[in-house]
Amino acid sequence: MIRHPLSQGVSQFNELLNRKSKLILYAFDLLWLNGEDLRQLPLVERKNRLDALIRSADCKPIMYAQHIEREGKRFFEEICARDLEGIVAKRKLSIYKNDGHGWLKIRNRSYTQAEGRHELLTRK
């Protein structure tokens, strides 16, 4: 298997776990902005506002997580080929719901860095 270096856009989980790499946050949704509740807006509108906010802030450790509107199956196949964890699927006109409905996490079952993922959030 070919291992992709971080410079090619692939995170190295163990380096993050051991705090050997700089953390980059990929933001994919915006629920509040300047005291305004955005949860009732369609996802596509929230993402547009998020993109504009990140661009205006010019904050290097925060990146806008782009979305794919079509070709989901082909996109997921590419994710698996690049040994990435998976994708999240949402309806572009959906409002935000706290109940976990409205989005679907699709995991790459052959992801090589899956073991120990929970430790990133619990380890001090």
pLDDT band at 44 (very low <50, low <70, confident <90, very high): very high
Q: Where are the domains of the chain?
A: 6-122
Q: Is 6-122 CATH 3.30.470.30?
A: yes
Q: What is the pLDDT of residues 75-122, one digit of tens each?
A: 999 989 988 888 888 888 888 887 766 788 899 998 887 776 555 445
- Predicted TM-score (pTM) of this structure: 0.69
Q: What is the pLDDT of residues 47-68, one digit of tens each?
A: 999 999 999 988 778 888 888 8
DSSP strand pairing (86-90 vs 62-64): unpaired
Going by C-beta distance under 8 Å and a sequence separation of 6 or more, which residues neighbour residue 30? 38, 46, 47, 49, 50, 53
Instruction: Give the distance, in angstroms, between the CA of residue 81 and the centroid of all CA atoms in the same chain.
Output: 17
